[in-house]
Amino acid sequence: MWFIRRMMKISWTEKKSNELVLKEANLERSLIKTIRQLQFLGHICRHKGLEHLAITEKIEGKRSRGRQRLTFIENLKSRAIGKGSNDNFIRLTENRFEWRNMIANVCFRQGT
């Protein structure tokens, strides 16, 4: 919620509830959840570690039979930019300025 308060220029001393801040910003909880997941994805993809390997599916092994579940990155990609390749999506996270702009565009695209 702190990032919404910051965008709306609401001080923490104003004693406004989270629900009131959400109403003023015309946001829903699901949008906030998507924004946080996108911010987390950007953080993970900029740091090369085990989490980065798991998210980019570079770990070897077989997936189970049948219809495959949506992966974390495919789910976020469909909400954020629609269709496109995972490589372009991951490459976009490396530029922090463009990644933040893309997250802001997700907010405006979903009706705010």
Q: pLDDT tens digit string along 38-95?
A: 888 888 888 888 877 777 776 677 777 887 777 777 777 776 766 555 667 778 888 8
Q: Is the pLDDT of residue 28 over 80?
A: no
Terminal-residue alpha carbon distance, the chain: 16
Question: What's the mean pLDDT in 3-8?
Answer: 84
Dist CA 10 CA 5 (whole Å): 5
User: What is the model's pTM?
Assistant: 0.58
Dist CA 10 CA 102 (whole Å): 23
Question: Domain extents for the chain?
Answer: 19-59+69-109
Which residues fall within 8 angstroms of residue 56, CB to CB, at 6 or more apart?
A: 45, 73, 86, 90
User: 40, 43, 31, 37: which is closest to 108 by C-alpha?
Assistant: 31
pLDDT confidence of residue 111:
54
